[in-house]
Amino acid sequence: MRAVTTFDGRTLYTDVREATQLGQFRITKSVSLSTRRLKAMGMDLYALAPEDPEFSEFSASWVGWGVLSDLLIELGCDVTEMSVSNDGDLVSELTATNWGRAIEENLDRIVEVRYHDESFAAGFRSELRVIDSKTPVLLTRHEISRVVMAETMGVTNENRYTNDELPFVLPILELKESLNWLLRAAWFFRNSGGFAQL
């Protein structure tokens, strides 16, 4: 049996019987076993064949996952394998590698756009956009969520969100924290050997 310890001290087991006996697992299409922690919102990605077992997972909040999705679309990537739920769907090695390369090869074209929005802890929400994208995202995942919530549940935050203010546009290469997060995502994609979305 092979066990890999993850960043947060969890262990991934490759032997189904051993993992089952421990009672801490989730089987995903006979590929991934993992201990699952309860979390309110987000996406955990588990590498299928990582180059470095110590870096076998990546996590993103739902906001972060939407930002990555929009960025990949603007980079011209195929996102048909990207899931919108924690259902264990797989992203192939070829697709994951293409995503990682697209991010790394276009860092000089990626900017972070910050919009004033008091519903976010920092007082603004961020999007990653690509300068001169041939496939621009016109309505971001965040905007789609706002429209759906307003239409279906009557939830709005108009008093906290304004489009009247001009956003700040900052090159990603000048933003250490955002750049590190994006580079870690790109490295994970490129070196994962494909991954499960949980």
List the domain boundaries for the chain. 39-197
Each of the 198 residues of the chain gets a pLDDT tens digit; together they read 344 444 444 444 434 334 333 433 333 333 333 334 444 468 999 999 999 888 899 999 888 898 999 999 999 999 999 988 888 899 999 999 999 999 999 999 999 998 887 777 788 888 899 999 999 887 666 666 666 656 666 655 555 555 567 888 999 999 999 999 999 999 999 999 999 999
CA distance 175 to 148: 31
What 3-state DSSP class applies to 111? strand
For residue 121, give both structure tokens.
């802890």
Determine the number of helices (DSSP H) and then strands (DSSP E) in the chain. Answer: 5, 9
DSSP character at residue 89: -
Per-residue pLDDT, 59: 94
Model-level pTM? 0.71
Q: Are 77 and 185 within 8 A, CB to CB?
A: no
CA distance 119 to 3: 41
Using a CB cutoff of 8 Å and minimum separation of 24, what contacts does 18-25 make? none
Per-residue pLDDT, 121: 79
Per-residue pLDDT, 131: 96
Tell me the backbone φ, ψ of residue 157, rounded to 5 degrees.
-135, 45
Per-residue pLDDT, 129: 94
